[in-house]
Amino acid sequence: MTTIHYREIVCNGHNHTEVVDEQHTFDLNHFAEACGQSPEWVLQLLEYDILQDRPDERIHQFFGEDISRARRAYRLQRDFNASFTAVAMMMDLIDEVQQLRKQVKHQHFQSH
């Protein structure tokens, strides 16, 4: 299954859709814009380890794949009125469930 990340831009009543390459990098401001959030909100994602750790020299470098994770974090925050701490915990649990599902699927595939 292939996932295509994109962002929709609405300006003066016109919609513009732009495909986001997972290997394309964003600086802090462009990443925040692609997520539809403020740079300060994105920095909170980093502070609470919701986004993957980065080396100090690349702390404000983001990838297309980070957009879907940031948007998921926003939806959790919005839907559950959750703090960043709660969102970080929910994201960790979601990641763990996904990893366990992959392991079960892999083991099931090997046993057949």
> Who has greater pLDDT, 89 or 63?
89
Instruction: Please state the length of the chain.
Output: 112
Q: pLDDT tens digits for 45-74?
A: 999 999 988 888 888 999 988 999 999 999
Return the closest-CA partner of residue 35 out of 59, 71, 65, 69: 71
Rounded average pLDDT over 82-104: 96
Q: What pTM does this model have?
A: 0.73
Least confident of 6-15, 26-35, 68-77: 6-15
- Torsional sign, CA 12, 16, 22, 25: negative
Looking at domain 5-111, which CATH architecture does it have? Answer: Orthogonal Bundle (1.10)
**pLDDT exceeds 50 at position 3:** no
Are 62 and 25 a contacting pair, CB within 8 Å? yes
Q: What is the residue extent of each domain of the chain?
A: 5-111
Whether 8 and 16 have beta carbons less than 8 Å apart is answered as yes
Tokens of 39: 């740079």
Indicate the average pLDDT of the chain. 85
Report the share of the chain in percent with pLDDT over 70.
Answer: 79
Rg over CA atoms, the chain:
16
C-alpha distances out from residue 88 to 32, 39, 48, 59, 101, Å? 18, 18, 6, 18, 20
